[in-house]
């Protein structure tokens, strides 16, 4: 009975995730699609084809379903960014076994081309540490908006223990370099890990 109930709940959550993805595409300004985890990954129209965006959204939903069905709170503890089948995993887990299991589950999803595993082992030692990471993330988004304008929505920022991970797509490496230089001066930032894909303008 418990297993049946769990399946029903997971099916409902899965349906909600799918609806969330496609409603966001239809309703967002300039046709932007949310494809992120805890902090939404957003890709502006023009950076990728609609077909690629939908493929990535499908991968995102399928990974979320895998994490929902797994133990160890993978769905809560791990953030996933998806760009053209390239998966960036960030977050904090208790041990190496959980970290490996998360990667294994991602590789089971059809369409995954690459997995970048930046999941860290440990925990947030205090509420102050967590608040500090949230503050850094907020500052990073503000700097991105100031540096690259509306295209800031094409970048995803995730901060863990003072380390900023950046994912996204751009055809302006000069602006990306300017943004990263500005991010380095945020108080509390220890390191910046750049996974932004550079695409040539057509």
Report the sign of the C-alpha dihedral through residues 98, 102, 108, 112, in that order.
Answer: negative
pLDDT at 50 over 70: no
Is pLDDT of 1 > 60? no
Delineate the domains of the chain, giving CATH numbers in brackets: 2-121 (no CATH), 127-198 (3.30.70.2210)
Encode pLDDT of 115-154 as tens digits. 999 999 887 667 678 889 999 999 999 999 998 887 777 7
Report residue 45's pLDDT band, with 50, 70 and 90 as the boundaries.
Answer: very low
Read off the pLDDT of residues 161-187 as tens digits, 9 standing for 90 and up: 899 999 988 888 999 999 999 999 999
Instruction: Provide the CA 56 distance to its chain's centre, in angstroms.
Output: 12
Please report which confidence band the pLDDT of residue 12 belongs to, taking 50, 70 and 90 as the band edges: low
pLDDT of residue 102: 94
Please state the rounded mean pLDDT for residues 44-58: 68
pTM: 0.69
- DSSP for 22-54 reads HHHHHHSTTS-EE--SSS--EE-BTTB-HHHHH
């Amino acid at each position: 009975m418990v297993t049946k109930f769990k399946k029903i709940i997971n099916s409902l959550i899965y349906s909600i995730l799918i609806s969330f993805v496609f409603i966001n595409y239809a309703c967002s300004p300039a046709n932007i699609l949310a494809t992120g985890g805890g902090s939404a990954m957003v890709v502006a129209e023009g950076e990728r084809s609609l077909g690629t965006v939908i493929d990535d959204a499908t991968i995102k939903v399928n990974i979320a379903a895998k994490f929902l069905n797994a133990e160890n709170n993978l769905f809560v503890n791990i953030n996933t960014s998806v760009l053209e089948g390239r998966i960036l995993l960030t977050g904090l887990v208790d041990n190496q076994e959980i970290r490996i299991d998360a990667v294994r589950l991602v590789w089971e999803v059809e369409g995954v081309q690459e997995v970048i595993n930046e999941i860290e082992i440990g925990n947030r030692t205090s509420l102050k540490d967590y608040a500090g990471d949230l503050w850094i993330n907020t500052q990073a988004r503000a700097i991105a908006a100031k540096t690259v304008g509306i295209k800031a929505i094409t970048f995803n920022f995730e901060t863990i223990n003072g380390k900023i991970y950046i994912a996204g797509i751009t055809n302006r490496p000069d602006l990306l370099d300017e943004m990263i230089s500005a991010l380095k001066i945020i108080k509390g930032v220890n390191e910046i890990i750049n996974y932004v894909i550079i695409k040539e303008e057509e």
